[in-house]
Structure 1
């Protein structure tokens, strides 16, 4: 039994050293990636062709490829695609806890009618969303990501009927952290679909996001013939959902929009540590089988006590 313990300890120590080295190397790689990001300014035509971004002096634009680098490689979110880019502060540092960005995507599901906007019960809608999130959490955990809780509204939904813009913000909490995350949402309704603007930041940055949201909104606009007022009821497709569904939506796992910047970095490191522990447990199981079922059970019992 002592031989088994020494072998396991030696292998575990070796794996742990490699793991810690990878964490340090990962930090260097993150800094390198952050330094190589290519920011754009001025007038930018989005890849979809439906809208244009006029980047104000206070902001910078990252195209879709650069945005994926930030979301996946730097912030450690699940892989995905479909973003049109991201607006970030002029002094953006993706490795900083206080950084934030507004990810831009486009949903071409048709013209969204807004006639129900004033009659929506947002308290009831919140409860429905919280229940749906609990179900989605089961899939997140299976994929190795922490569960996410919708604590409540950070800003209750509001629809600007004149400009066809919808705003709301959720107070989110990741299961393995006490820190709350802000998920600030903006939807701009168009003739054939909806521009989706999502900002992720710490909850304490709500006032900052609200302060800068007019700059973000004024910088992104539908091109002529794609605007809400260009809708042709005789030929254009009408979406099979309304304002309430835009707010409820699905959990945007593909773009990582429910994960805070710092939380994502911490989670990425934690996954490595979990992987190390998993390999150690696997080794224990193999050697336990060689030395007998009884010893395997003892080893498992000791592991449980340590956890």
Structure 2
């Protein structure tokens, strides 16, 4: 997957730079000589400055980058790079040609994940080991799809850094290493900005050597995102809005049979108090019915000598 990602991106950047280079050359003839995929890349129209995404979020394109909207971005990511469809795809940030010669950052995909509201308490208590297991299961399904398409597959995925949640800006940082074969690996840095209905996801794909760069770049990207009123994290309405279904309660369902996980979950929730109250009520009811079943006392004495 990421080999194709890198190959087509560098092809696009090279084509765009060549298409406008060279004074006095016949640009139309040069365009006609391109392959169909290169022609498609050369036809893309990039944006800079302030961009309004399809869901109303305002993006300030960082210096040294350019933005490809949802329609063109889907063509690049799905048709040329061979990725599966992402229903929440909103656009793609790509480095300007020649602006970062020493950096190997392929791009930052922007998408909306409408999975429901995730509270701060649940975000802080998420079991990221279980989350990675879920991701690996999904990866196996995606690899099956890639095999049918004749595309390269990801052989392994694991955390590059411990996942973190930042309470100050309500962001989750999920940094993964994706392994292709034995010698090729890529960095997948996903920053999820929590919203009223889910999360705005910014996923950067880069060489593993760019980990330190992304640790600085991605948190700073929060300042380039302007969430409209009504979609912000603080706009959540518990009476009308949907709660996220992929929370710790869901992720731990398969672990409840394990005694250690069960008691950790029990002691950290209100269920512990409820269980205690039920036990007290049960004991009281048992004693009550036991007293009701006792034989009544005799109110007169029968003298057996009279018989």
Contact 1:157 1:166 survives alignment (8 Å):
yes
Aligned pairs for 1:126-141 within 5 A: 126-127=132-133, 129-131=135-137, 133-134=139-140, 136-141=142-147
Which residue, 183, 190, 193 being the options, matches 1:185? 190
**Aligned pairs, number:** 218
Q: Deviations over 1:221-255 (max 9, x none)?
A: 31112111111222222222337989xxxxxxxxx
Equivalent residues of 2:195, 2:232 under 8 A apart: yes
Query: Which residue does the alignment assign to 2:47?
Result: 40
State TM-score, norm by structure 2: 0.61
Tell me, yes or no, if structure 1 residue 61 matches structure 2 residue 91: no
SS in 1 for 2:205: strand
Q: Larger deviation: 218-227 or 164-173?
A: 218-227
Structure with more contact order per residue of length (Cα contacts < 8 Å, sep ≥ 6): 1
Q: 1:102 is matched with which residue?
A: 108
Q: Which residue of 1 aligns with 2:237?
A: 232
Give yes or no for the alignment of 1:148 onto 2:169: no
Deviation track 1:164-192 (CA, whole Å, cap 9, x = no partner) reads 100111111124x7310111111111112
Cα distance, 1:99 vs. partner?
A: 4.3
Would the aligned equivalents of 1:68 and 1:81 in 2 still touch at CA under 8 Å? no
With over 3 angstroms needed to count, the CA separation of the structure-2 counterparts of 1:126 and 1:89, relative to structure 1, is: same
* In 1: Cα distance, 2:234 partner to 2:92 partner: 26
Partner of 1:157: 163
Which is higher, the Rg of structure 1 or of structure 2? 2
Task: Please state how far the C-alpha of 1:89 moved relative to its aligned partner.
Answer: 2.0
**Residue pair 2:125, 2:248 contacting (<8 A) in 1 also:** no
TM-score, L = length of structure 1: 0.61
Alpha-carbon distance in structure 1 between the residues aligned to 2:33 and 2:120: 47
Q: Which runs of 5+ in 2 are unaligned?
A: 1-31, 252-307
> Which of structure 1's runs of 4+ aligned residues deviate more than 6 A?
243-246
Q: Deviations over 1:44-68 (max 9, x none)?
A: 211122x111223232211001211
Structure 1 residue 140: Cα displacement: 3.3
- Rate the CA distance shift 1:52–1:180 in 2: closer, same or farther, 3 A: same
